[in-house]
């Protein structure tokens, strides 16, 4: 562990997990420019990919006689998951100003840099 002193405060840098690093990258991405729903979708595109695949498969299953209801069920699940994600993204947009005010951006930057150096 490395210790840094910033304005008399001593921080101990920690080894971030993949999820923690991804979360800090997400926060830091929107440090200078507020998030939008579309920018968040771009950042999280890999998580939206299975939802899209399930919806496309549902469209194909609809065309199979006797399986129309299953296809609509898959499309409904995908639509619900997509709607849930959009709701979360909208929620982040609505409260972003408070996150921006309370986040120690220098600390976020230090953690990301220290873990990049540690991983190299």
DSSP structure class, residue 17: P
Looking at the structure, tell me whether residues 44 and 95 fall in a common domain. yes
Model confidence pLDDT, tens digit, residues 52-110: 999 999 999 999 999 999 999 999 999 999 999 999 999 999 999 999 999 899 988 88
- Tracing tokens 């993204």 back to the chain, one arrives at 89
- Write the DSSP symbol of residue 44: T
41 and 95 in a single domain? The answer is: yes
Domain region containing 116: 1-31+104-120
Q: Into how many domains does the chain fold?
A: 2
Q: What is the pTM of this model?
A: 0.71
| Percentages (nearest 5) of helix, strand, coil residues in the chain | 70, 5, 20
Structural tokens at position 56 = 């496309």
Spatial separation of the C-alpha atoms in residues 68 and 59, rounded to whole Å = 9
46 & 11 share domain: no
**Same domain? 15 vs 43:** no
Question: pLDDT by residue (tens digit) across 34-47?
Answer: 899 999 998 889 99
Banded model confidence at residue 6, pLDDT cuts 50, 70, 90: low
């Amino acid at each position: 562990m490395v210790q840094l002193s910033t304005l008399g405060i001593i921080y101990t840098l920690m080894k971030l997990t993949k999820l923690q690093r991804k979360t800090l990258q997400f926060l830091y991405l929107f440090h200078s420019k507020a998030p939008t729903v579309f920018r968040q979708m771009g950042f999280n595109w890999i998580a939206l990919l299975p939802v899209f695949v399930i919806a496309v498969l549902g469209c194909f299953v609809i065309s199979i006689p006797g399986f129309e209801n299953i296809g609509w069920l898959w499309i409904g699940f995908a639509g619900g998951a997509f709607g849930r994600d959009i709701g979360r993204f909208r929620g982040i947009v609505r409260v972003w100003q408070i996150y921006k005010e309370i986040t120690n951006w220098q600390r976020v930057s230090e953690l990301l840099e220290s873990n990049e150096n540690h991983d190299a």
